[in-house]
Amino acid sequence: MMEEMIQNCSRILFNTPILKKKNIAILGSTGSIGTQALEVVKAFPDLLQVTILTAATNADLLITQALEFKPKAVVIVQQDLYSKVYEALHKFGVSVYAGERSLEEVVEYDNIDVVLNAIVGAAGLRPTVNAIKKGKDIALANKETLVVAGKLMMDLVKDNQVKMLPVDSEHSAIFQCLYGEEDNAIEKILLTASGGPFRGRDREFLRGVKKEQALKHPNWTMGAKITIDSATLMNKGLEVIEAKWLFDVDVDQIEVVVHPQSIVHSLVQFTDGSIKAQLGLHDMKLPIQNALTYPVRQANSFERFDFVNFPALSFERADTNVFRNLGLAYQCLLDGGDRSCVLNAANEVAVDAFLHDKICFLGMSDLIEATLCQLSKVKNPSLEDLLVIDLETRKVARDLIKSM
């Protein structure tokens, strides 16, 4: 009682916001971001409550998570796993749904404050659109949503007066650098990149790399798709596009800086030349927590960064001659229209083909470039147009693989 009174007095005196308990829907709860988000929820049982969990195919993990976190509902996307999940959960009062459509509908539940979208790929787009239209705040890990339809998504966010809270570590860093800077213009965003497992290598070396090598990221443990994207630097290309839409800057205001230690998560340079950076260990729980507890910085017991353990933080330019995907992403952003949507869909097909040994590492850029050439540009696509273009692009890219 006394402690609560002291806390309230300090909040009034120092104007610190109080975090009201939030109901969270986690889309993609069985993935790398999803499981780390559940660790964050576990760390704040009085502040965060899970109401929805969803997975594509991992029914066993979804069931285990639901038994522990007791959500109101779960979705298993793969239809034939429905009975397994239903049998395990309905007796505990958990509603069970299956299929892609359910994923879109479940975000409309009343008792959701924030939808954490941790789905991989353009599959995350429709549920995000629905959630925004229902007035839910979004914690966005699924960068592909903004790559496919950045302008339309940010317009929706504005029209529905919801918050789009970045989870991607670089964008969370930029977001945090902008606290208190609402009236100050950004001169430049410096987006850091680890450089991936092949930093400093030439094209000759990349010609022969195998998926096992590409799946070994030096700093982060992540899902397979983003790990390959990190090895090709497409991840950074997608993040340049994500940054453009989240922070409303021009393409030439976003510079990629390779920083192999992944401690400086990104930086913002203001018009007086001053630069702010956000630093921390490479632990996705921090940006996830930031998005889920925003605007409060809630005390936690996660591991702390120590400068002594990282005496040298280094920075270098990205090599777009070797890592062509980064250049392709910049070009698509400059070209506008449907180009980023085509880039994303072609890249999803390319990564999948590489992971299934159908094309080589450098073949991924060749495929993306050839797909972009084959489809003529659509200038002002609607959301529905983009969904059609996404499907069409996948078909073109798959056909091109057959002739490679």
Applying CB under 6 A, the residues found at the interface with ligand NAD are 28-34, 55-56, 58, 77, 103, 118-120, 123, 141-144, 168, 220, 222-223, 225-226, 284
Of 119, 153, 115, 116, give the one whose Cα is nearest residue 136.
Answer: 115
Closest distance to ligand NAD from the beta carbon of 308 (Å):
26
* Structure tokens belonging to residue 339: 């180009």
Size of the site for Mg ion (CB under 5 A): 3
Q: How far apart are CA 242 and CA 268, in angstroms?
A: 15
Q: Are 314 and 263 in contact (CB under 8 A)?
A: no
Among Mg ion, ligand NAD, none, the one that 270 touches (CB under a kind-dependent 5 to 8 A) is: none
Query: Which is closer to ligand NAD, CB of 30 or CB of 269?
Result: 30
Nearest residue to ligand NAD on Cβ basis: 31
Site string for Mg ion, 114-153 (x = CB under 5 A): ----------------------------------------
* Cα distance from N-terminal residue to C-terminal residue, the chain: 71
Strand partners, 26: 53, 116
Selection from 336, 344, 337 nearest residue 371 by Cα: 344
Q: Which does 123 bind (CB under 5 to 8 A by kind): ligand NAD, Mg ion, none?
A: ligand NAD
Burial readout 177-193 (b: 16 or more C-beta within 10 A, e: otherwise):
bbeeeeeeebebbbbbb
Residue 327 interacts with which of ligand NAD, Mg ion, none, CB < 5 to 8 Å by class = none
The residue among 172 and 393 lying less far from Mg ion, judged by its C-beta, is 172
Q: What is the dihedral of CA 107, 24, 38, 48, to 10 degrees?
A: -170
Window 168-207: residues binding Mg ion (CB under 5 A)? 168-170
Say which entry of Mg ion, ligand NAD, none residue 31 contacts (CB below 5 to 8 A, set by partner kind). Answer: ligand NAD
Q: Phi-psi region for residue 161, left (φ > 0), alpha (ψ -120 to 50) or beta? A: left
Q: How far is the CB of 223 from ligand NAD (least distance, A)?
A: 3
Q: How far is the CB of 265 from Mg ion (least distance, A)?
A: 8
Could you list the residues that contact Mg ion (CB under 5 A)? 168-170
